Structure 1
Amino acid sequence: MPTIDYRAPLKALVAVRGHPFDRNAFAALFDGMEGISATMVDQPAAAQLMNPDGMAPFDVLVLYDMPGLDFAAETDRPGYVDPGEAFRTGFTALLEQGKGIVALHHAFAGWPAWPAYADALGGSFLYRPGPLRGRDRPDSGYRHQVEYTAEVVAPDHPVMAGIPATFAMTDEAYLGEVFEDEVTPLLRSSHAFTRDGFYSATAAMEGRMFSNEGWSHEEGSNLIGWTKRAGNSPLVYLQPGDDQITYDNPVYRRLVENAIRWVASPEARA
């Protein structure tokens, strides 16, 4: 919508950039969400607003960004960029304030140089092997256009309101690091989250797209949606969200809308 909706009862700041996406198709995801105004702000400018003062006009922060990765680095691509003390302090204060957060898809890979960010989201996608929570971890896996069945595992949760018990998805899947014992599961995928079902992220960075040759990764979590507390903030992470196929999926649209409404609610913050 080209005009500004000053009267919407629920205002969301939507942080974008850092990973390729169809901007117009993604913006259309929010069309039809009655009473919700979504304002897209690109990184790195979006990071300047992720603090209590910057987010004061907004009820919800939606993360569809992937900051902190330098894909033009000469070695060890992508380079890991530290978010800086101002961002770390401001974002931590935002979580302590209890602002609701919805994180989508590639936001899972954001700010790898700051481990507390992965703690807040409930896991991380690793472009390169490295330490995570005191353990050496392999690079994560990706696979585009995966056809799978999503299964609701928390049917009574408000984010699952109106969502069928199972539904078909075609989307990019991640074999990443999920802190499953620290989250409340919402959705699981029928896809096999094993090494053979994915490609190596590091191989892709080295110019070997769609390869898992020489890459090993143990079986991972098939959890693709969860909620958790991040400080005092209610947070929902939804792993789907790669492209227009998913944006146009009415079930996915309902999931994102439900998540925005729930994290903004007094019940979620209580």
Structure 2
Amino acid sequence: MTMARIGLLLLWVVGISVAAPPSEEERARVEAALPAQNLPAERHLLIFTGCRGYVHESIPIGAWAITRMGEVTGAWQAEVRDDPAVFSDLSGYDGVLMLSTTGTLFTEAAWQDELVRFVEGGGGLVGIHAAADCFYDWPAYGDMLGGWFDGHPWHQEVEIEIEEPEHPVMQAFAGADTFEVTDEIYQFRDPYSRGRNRVLARLAPWALDLSRAGIRRSDGDFAVSWVRRQGRGRIFYTSLGHRSEIYWNPVVLRHYADGIRFALGDLEADSVSSAARYGGMSADDAAETLHGWSPEDGRAVLRPVEEAIRTALHGDDQAPMRAALLAVANDEEAHLDVRRLALYRLRWFDDAAAVSAGLRPLLADTILGETAHDVIAWQQRGIGFVTTWSIAGPYESEGVTGAGLMSVRFGPEEMTGGWQPLDEGMVDPPGVVDFGRIFGGENRCAYLRTVIRSKSVRSVELRVGSDDGCRVWFNGNTVLMRDVQRGHRLEEDRVEIVLKPGVNMVMMKVTQGGGGWQASCRVVPMDGRGLEGIEFAPSL
């Protein structure tokens, strides 16, 4: 029996993971998608699949696909293990691939030292998807990999921008600037930075779905794939790999193959950090480049501009770059593509008043007006979200599922007690209440209530998001009903109401059938005067 087959047997019999083995149909799909290469190399790759947290159902087919890809291409021989004791001695391997590993996999200092020694001594490290969701209490691991998971706002079809189509690790994309795929997409936190990593792919900034809850990055930099070096070792990471069908996507498999070969030392590729390679351009030079750019110049010319913008976003003085981008956005002689680029980047700059004022002339533009409006709205995204609530629940009714709970009247609808102030620390930015974190469970509902005090008559829009359904009362009258099963999206439903002088009451009922359970509410004045004269309180 080969080492690869022994490893696969260990995956199903001994390990921590509990996901089911791949079906024959899944294996056939992988076989059809494998890259047709013959790259003989005497390389041994450890595929580690252990989990102490969430176990991805795609792990077995992923392990099988990567093992089989090594056999078909001749690029590596794989051994699949999920016993962390394997890290006591890595001398028999050329590379370690962490396949959607989660949690604190081991705490033995000697094993941790062995992995660091292995990588810094020239071994390869590959991270697939949740490889960034482990070892949070071991800083050296995050440093090696290049960053840590910080939530997954997106699980949908997304457009990915290939930042360097000519890079050897990106040859799977055949020179294309973009790639569309459906998967769970991560965002990352420190130690992630472009000063450490060579970022090769990211979520396309022009196609970002910013309605998703839990977006934490303040610079719009949502990396998908990167490479880096540590000591003599090479590291490749990609967040693609949550869904099983990713492992029979021929483009992604080829991307994996090239990334693994880079990590193993068999594919030469530049791994100098993005900041080191493209940094150093001033705001004036960036503006000059943008004003004069044309498609014939190519997108590679814009990489130093992009890096200069990112540097400004993380710097102490954003004003020069902000002014430069506002000038480009309003320059009717500049190419439409770079005017859009300026708009997309302005979304993340500070001083909402300056950005909004600078973009106001564009609001009437027939081509860019909608984008300018979206940027202004995003700049003001934190304004008006209710974070001051009372909460009641959870409530259940025997034999009634989540969808049926909307018609069941519980205590808050009968004006009885049960209300408790909700700690604002339990409200996620910009204003999302996660009942799953507070209560958990399924087939139940909960209520939120806030008091809005207004100094005058004001027309406002309530913008509500809910997972699953919701019913909204304003001053005792139902103004919105959505008896649905859905994921949470900020501001998905909108209804105009009129605040009376003094006390006004908003109450929400949010049902839960399964999966996520969240709600949000934003109050947006219709007269453009902001929240002047409006206050929120959890109770009278």
TM-score, with length taken from structure 1: 0.72
5+ residue gaps in structure 1? 70-80, 126-139, 201-215
1:197 maps to: 212
- CA shift in 2, pair 1:68/1:8, >3 Å: same
Query: Aligned AA for 1:37?
Result: Q
CA distance in 2, matches of 1:8, 1:39: 15
2:97 maps to: 62
CA distance in 2, matches of 1:155, 1:217: 25
Counterpart among 127, 133, 147 of residue 123 in structure 1: 147
Following superposition, the deviation at residue 113 of structure 1 comes to: 0.4
Q: CA RMSD, aligned part only?
A: 2.9
Following superposition, the deviation at residue 96 of structure 1 comes to: 2.0
Aligned residues: 223
1:24 maps to: 60
Contact 1:108 1:123 in 2 (8 A): yes
Counterpart among 200, 216, 234 of residue 186 in structure 1: 200
SS at match of 2:55: coil
| Same amino acid, percent of matched pairs | 26
CA distance in 1, matches of 2:203, 2:170: 15
Q: For residues 176-255 of structure 1, what are the structure 2 equivalents within 5 Å?
A: 176-177=188-189, 178-190=192-204, 192=208, 196-199=211-214, 218-255=218-255
- CA shift in 2, pair 1:246/1:144, >3 Å: farther
Query: Aligned AA for 1:197?
Result: R
CA distance in 1, matches of 2:4, 2:165: 33
Counterpart among 99, 107, 120 of residue 96 in structure 1: 120
Listed one character per residue, the Cα deviations across residues 101-126 of structure 1 (whole Å, up to 9, x for unaligned) are 1111101011000112111111112x
- CA shift in 2, pair 1:49/1:238, >3 Å: same
SS at match of 2:221: coil
Counterpart among 45, 48, 55 of residue 15 in structure 1: 48
CA distance in 2, matches of 1:88, 1:246: 30
After superposing the two structures, state which structure 1 stretch, 112-121 or 57-66, moved more. Answer: 57-66
Contact 1:120 1:231 in 2 (8 A): no
Following superposition, the deviation at residue 56 of structure 1 comes to: 2.2
Query: Aligned AA for 2:143?
Result: D
Contact 1:187 1:224 in 2 (8 A): yes
1:258 maps to: 258
Q: Which has the higher strand share?
A: 1
Counterpart among 118, 132, 136 of residue 108 in structure 1: 132
SS at match of 2:96: strand
SS at match of 1:38: strand
CA distance in 2, matches of 1:269, 1:92: 22
Query: Aligned AA for 1:160?
Result: M
5+ residue gaps in structure 2? 6-39, 272-540
